[in-house]
Chain A
Amino acid sequence: MKRSRLLPAVTWIYVVWSLLPVLIAIRFAFNEGRSRTTGQGFSLRWFWTDPTLSVRNDPTLASALEHSLVLAGLSMVIAVPLGTALALGLQRWRGRGSGVSNVLMLLPLVTPELVFAVGLFLLFTSAFGFIGLGTTAQVIGHVTFSLSWVVLIVRGRLVMIGRDVEEAAADLGAPPWHVLRRVLLPLLGPALAASLLTVFALSIDDFVVAQYMASGADTTTVPMRIYASARAAPTPALNALVTIMLVLSLAALALAWVLGRGRPVEPRA
């Protein structure tokens, strides 16, 4: 076979190149000793057992993890219902302005995060000064950029479901609220689950927005903590924290993917 081997080779080099640092970082999270560059046995010291420096016992690391989870939780709870309502509204909106709004809705997906973060920073320190920086600003930031994803996911599912079942439900006597509760929401289930997990993954990964909206030590998230201490005097506890983050994000994305596929809406025989 005369097919070039170059393409697969390049692909594999890239895969190894991009995964190697991560794997190395994970390896040292389980190090017995203090070094982050030489292997010194295996232990859970930096996750759990070290009395002052492990993720569990170092208050700065533990609070960063907690704050990251709080932000992600709040973002999920706010962005998913809001995004679902937006998707339902946009799906029904025919006529002037609907085309423009559809494009605008997708704009946050391509806006550079830094531009977005700087914009929000200016907003919360001037025009919306009453909100100020801190957890609220961080949550608003995360909700804002993850909303587009929710709309995208839910609308995709709505298109699959089609208008027929809604019309059928109304035709059988269900008032609009019941159409939503008895028919649409159950059918949107997989899309809602996928949205929740996507928002979680987006929020827990975010550094730029969280950093700009932060107001002090108690609003430090895991990515911020890692960034701050990576250049100071890091211990393998930092690697342990990175490992926890990685596992959480991967689990959320994998679950979102599995649920997002869902079952076919209306299998035709």
Chain B
Amino acid sequence: MSLALEHLVKRYGDVRAVDDVSIEIAHGEFFTLLGPSGCGKTSTLRLIAGFETLDSGAITLDGTDIAGKPPHKRPVNTVFQSYALFPHMTVAENVAFGLRYKRVGKAEVARRVGEAMELVQLGSLAARRPGQLSGGQQQRVALARALVLEPPVLLLDEPLGALDARLRIDLQVELKRIQETLEMTFVYVTHDQDEALTMSDRVAVMKGGRVEQCDEPRVLYEAPGTAFVANFLGSSNLIPAAVTGDGLQVGEFTLRADVNGRTGDALAMIRPERVRLEPHGSAGENRVPGMVEAVVYLGFHQDVRVRLASGALVRCDVPNDGSAVEHASGDPVCVHLPADCLRVLDP
């Protein structure tokens, strides 16, 4: 089933928590709402679940508007950040909770609960209570409890937020596997860019209640539309520049770049791993001299910070592949900013 959000608006007092959000999510898509806290991603999810009421806009599931229905009548289910398990019920009772409202027989309930528990690899813990489980196990119960209802759309509100890093990576892979196995539509909320990049088919980056950019992870990373997206997904160099007739002006140097029809002041964006560090005086286009200001050794790569003559600081990832030349602060160098890696953004 496809889910369409049309011009959603939600106000809390004077604050527009969700400000004209329109998104179409296809059947079977893993869709992520990504953004810093307070960007409106969770509010958007809560609007879909029905915990908050819309001020204006429409939420349609395969063409039917569900915005007017209370949460218990919406065919979507939620996995909460806090898990929100029922502490007075066993794991199996938690998982079976929603099946009562699906009008299925006793045998069918038992079968589906068993299947859901197998799917999240919790078969042996059916008789435990939530309080006796680890965080990761509780997370799986929360997932099974929602999955067992086979909702056309599953909403996940930072489901891995409370887990430690190792477990989080394992569960990321597992979530993706489950989503692909069941061909279910997932709407996933997170502030973690790695989670968004690893699992999602598409990501909407949100800021101040609005969608900044919505696209596949690769496009968001390679071709961010705004400085905010460039900074939020991965790290990036944003060099103040100006678009002139010849190209992109950075200080006294002119760089070749696709200016995309922009004029006037702009930001030249380039990922640190795309910046090439060359010996001082290297010839060729898009080369700018500078001086090494700091070198941070990070094991698998070095983070070399170069101050350009224009005053801008450029971070450069030098991979630790054995061939790298050692740099020290104070060394004069030349940074190569390849034209196809430069993006010109609005300041």
List A residues at the B interface (Cβ < 8 Å).
162, 164-165, 167-176, 182-183, 186-187, 189, 263-269
Contact = CB atoms under 8 A, between A and B. Distances in A.
Interface stretch (B72-80, B257-265, B295-303): B72-80
B225 interface: no
A268 B135 contact: yes
Interface in B58-114: 70-72, 76-78, 80, 82, 84-88, 97-98, 100-102
9 contacts: A162-B82, A167-B80, A170-B51, A172-B146, A172-B149, A176-B72, A187-B88, A263-B87, A268-B135
Contact of B86 (A162, A169, A170, A263): A169
B80 A164 contact: yes
A156 to B, nearest CB: 17
B87 A171 contact: no
Interface string B225-258: 0000000000000000000000000000000000
Contacts, number: 82
B75 to A, nearest CB: 9
B145 interface: yes
B134 A269 contact: yes
Contacts of A176: 72
A231 B84 CA distance: 60
Contacts of B84: 162, 164-165, 167-168
Contacts of B101: 172-174
A165 B86 contact: yes
B290 interface: no
Contacts of A170: 50-51, 70-72
A174 B78 contact: no
Nearest to A266: B87
Given A165-B84, A170-B51, A187-B87, 11 more contacts: A162-B82, A164-B80, A164-B82, A168-B80, A170-B71, A172-B145, A176-B72, A182-B97, A189-B88, A264-B131, A266-B82
B49 interface: yes
A187 to B, nearest CB: 6
- Closest 10 interchain pairs by CB? A172-B98, A173-B101, A164-B84, A168-B84, A267-B131, A170-B71, A269-B134, A186-B88, A170-B72, A171-B78
Contacts of B133: 269
A49 B98 CA distance: 60
B138 interface: yes
B217 interface: no
A167 B51 contact: yes
Contacts of A174: 72, 97-98, 100-101
B87 A269 contact: no
A72 to B, nearest CB: 29
Interface in B14-41: none
A94 to B, nearest CB: 11
Nearest to B137: A269
Contact of A266 (B77, B78, B131, B146): B131
A173 B72 contact: yes
A259 to B, nearest CB: 15
